[in-house]
A = this chain, B = another copy of it.
Amino acid sequence: MSNGKQPNLRIPGPVPLPDDVLDLVGSQMINHRGPEYADMLDRMTANLRTVFMTTNDAYFITSSGTGAMETAVVNTISPGDKVLAISIGVFGDRFREIAEAYGADVTRLEFELGHAADPARLAEALKALPGCKAVILTHNESSTGVANPLKELCEVIHAESDALILVDAVSSAAGMPIAVDAWGIDVVATASQKSWIAPPGIAMVTFSKKAWAAYEQCTTPKYYYDIKQYEDYLKIGQPPFTPCLPAMFALDKSLEAMVAEGIETIFERHHTIADHTRHGARSLGLELVPEERYASDTVTAIRLPEGIDGKEFLARVKRDYNVILGGGQKSLTGKIFRIGHMGWMEMAHIDEALEAAGRTLREMQGKN
């Protein structure tokens, strides 16, 4: 860690990385059109499928997570297609904006900040939208710390329509279960800097047979995110375009480690640490943004007490305790703070973060 940084980031991604992963990130470049890369890509593709519990195709794209969401849209949805966009916050809105940017006929299904999507209202919305081509939704809304009941929502979609299911799992995948085959998810989108314990730079998607059938009919223009290019090059063990090698090196190791540890164990670990975080926040007399049953296992959003300036709070926590917490986004700016607990994260990290938050609040409230 030559920048001398301690792993003190407690934002919901990028996640801090352990030293052995940082060593891999700083590995010498290799030929992305050579046999070593081909072996790595093959191994990573197989492991990614294991984590997503799927036999669907899986691809790595050099991009942020938003690029993975765009990949889901531009390869399956054509201009004028009816799309139902479920949103419970900033990232649901972003998915909708992408679909709108590419000319989809979008119907919104929105829920109040801090709440999860309601399966009953989803069923109604689908009944009112015959011929819906795709439902786009966020698994884990990191802006509010709410996890949607993805399995239940997928069941409703399958019961009420033939729509494709495109899921933004950027901040949930590898930290919370996503059974792509069992739940019938057509495209899942995620990114390396979250629970995957890797730096930002690589987006990942899975594509079902139904998504490929939609691709064949899809008239949306595309090039860099044209999934067919990734498929064609995968057959010869190559990426279509020069890949972000530092993120690939780290991700290769992480995927191997995840499959070796067992994904159920990883999901349990995330749940345990999330529970610990929520309990700790409540012990400080603070209120969580989401209802407990929909609270995310990868990020906890906590309301700031009345009268506390959120910007000053974050600055003080950093200045006095060297801990970087996440702030609120859009309409929640200054009103909440967020603690990320995905990927490599230990109880001690959470305790430090909570203690820093608690002490800072007491200081700001003049209580010590």
Please list the residues of chain A having a beta carbon within 8 angstroms of any beta carbon in chain B. Answer: 1-3, 5-7, 9, 11, 13-17, 22-34, 62-67, 70, 97-98, 101-103, 191, 193, 199-201, 220-226, 240-247, 249, 324, 327
Contact = CB atoms under 8 A, between A and B. Distances in A.
B3 A249 contact: yes
Closest 4 pairs (CB-CB, A-B): A26-B26, A5-B28, A201-B244, A3-B27
Given A2-B23, A25-B246, A33-B327, 6 more contacts: A22-B26, A26-B27, A65-B242, A201-B201, A244-B244, A246-B247
Given A22-B26, A28-B7, A223-B101, A243 B64 contact: yes
Contact of A242 (B103, B191, B245, B246): B191
A242 B28 contact: no
A245 B247 CA distance: 10
A51 to B, nearest CB: 20
A28 B1 contact: yes
Nearest to A66: B241
B6 A245 contact: no
A246 B65 CA distance: 16
A62 B5 CA distance: 23
Given A1-B26, A7-B28, A70-B223, A244 B97 contact: no
Contact of A247 (B102, B201, B224, B225): B201
Nearest to A329: B33
A245 to B, nearest CB: 6
B31 A324 contact: yes
